Amino acid sequence: MEYRTLGNTDLQLSAITYGAFAIGGNMWGGNEKQDSIASVKASIDNGVTTIDTAPFYGFGLSEELIGEAIKGYDRSRIQLLTKFGLVWDGSNQGKGDYFFDAEEDGKKIPIYKYASKSNVIKEAEESLKRLGTDYIDLLQIHWPDSTTPIHETMEALEQLIQQGKVRAAGVSNYSLAQVQEARQTIHIASNQVAYSMLNRSIEKDLVPYATDNQLGIIAYSPMERGLLTGKYFQDNKLKDNDHRNGYFQQFNLEKVQAFLDAITPMAKDKNASLSQLVLRWTTLQPGISVVLTGARNAEQAVQNARTMDIQLSDGELGFIEQELARL
């Protein structure tokens, strides 16, 4: 495994970082508790020491599973990254930005983006309890909240850092302008954003800024929620409550399948899966600090960790770029 310094901090994160959205179950067709816990343990045992989660993932369940999974490990060897700012329990009393309706047990649950100072402090305390720890390595706002001044949210993060409950502050899904505004209050370490072979929009402005200003970029959805594994084209049956039924329709699926067919021989030549090849490409892109990838069981976790064993030459990277240009 390769470990990388995040932005302007002393945090050393594993280049492949465990993304814990799916083990929360909601929007992913459910989960299996023991498999989820085993996937976290297998990740740590194979060098993936950084775990990224959020209260929204399973309405607290993802954080609870992680807290259970890391018991018995040396906490100093593990980096816990979590978030705040998506409220589903009505505690925001109607304040904040309405986001969307999630579903749980057939019921619609309104989700709001809400990042007032009091809510940041409240959510941080709840996350610490669920994770079973006394500090969070990186605490990030999950989505921008237009109803709360950015400086107010950042002041709350600064307070938590001063109290020793948080080691570093980050943002997620922030535009470059929002990053720059946040940095007027606190020197945030990172921005967690969507980035993949099919979505490279951050290369226009965020990546150049990040490389020039010690800002880490945490890339999420590098596999486009499983589309780039190729499995969808082999058996495209998803559960009715799986959000990917709609998500995948934004892409030209015929072209995506052709691209995957083109790079499959390279993956086979390296005795790697398509997933591993795609992830390795992502870790090698300029400005990308670490790459998030999920695992539903121990086997998937081990395969994710072994991604960093793959070597890609300049010629091979050039071939991939050539094929991506056809999309």
Show the low-confidence residues of the chain (pLDDT under 50): 27-30
> 142 — phi, psi (to 5°)?
-75, -50
Would you give the DSSP letter of residue 320?
H
In a domain, 325, yes or no: no
93: number of Cβ within 10 Å: 9
> 288 lies in which domain range?
3-230+275-311
What does the pLDDT read at residue 26? 57
CA–CA separation, 237 and 89 (whole Å): 32
The CATH number that applies at residue 194 is 3.20.20.100
- Nearest CA among 166, 192, 197 for reference residue 179: 192
In a domain, 61, yes or no: yes
What does the pLDDT read at residue 28? 45
Q: How far is CA 316 from CA 22, 144, 156, 265, 322, in A?
A: 31, 38, 46, 12, 10
* DSSP notation for 150-173: HHHHHHHHHHHHHTTSEEEEEEES
Q: How far is CA 293 from the centre of its chain?
A: 7
CA–CA separation, 83 and 322 (whole Å): 37
Q: Which two tokens stand for residue 255?
A: 């072209």
Structural domains counted in the chain? 1
In a domain, 241, yes or no: no
Q: Which residues are catalytic?
A: 57
In a domain, 218, yes or no: yes
In a domain, 297, yes or no: yes
Q: Which two tokens stand for residue 226?
A: 């499983």
CA angle 2, 214, 165 (to 5 degrees): 80
- Give the global pTM: 0.94
pLDDT in tens, 53-104: 999 999 999 999 999 999 999 999 999 999 999 999 888 888 999 999 988 7
In a domain, 257, yes or no: no
In a domain, 238, yes or no: no
What does the pLDDT read at residue 174? 98
In a domain, 135, yes or no: yes
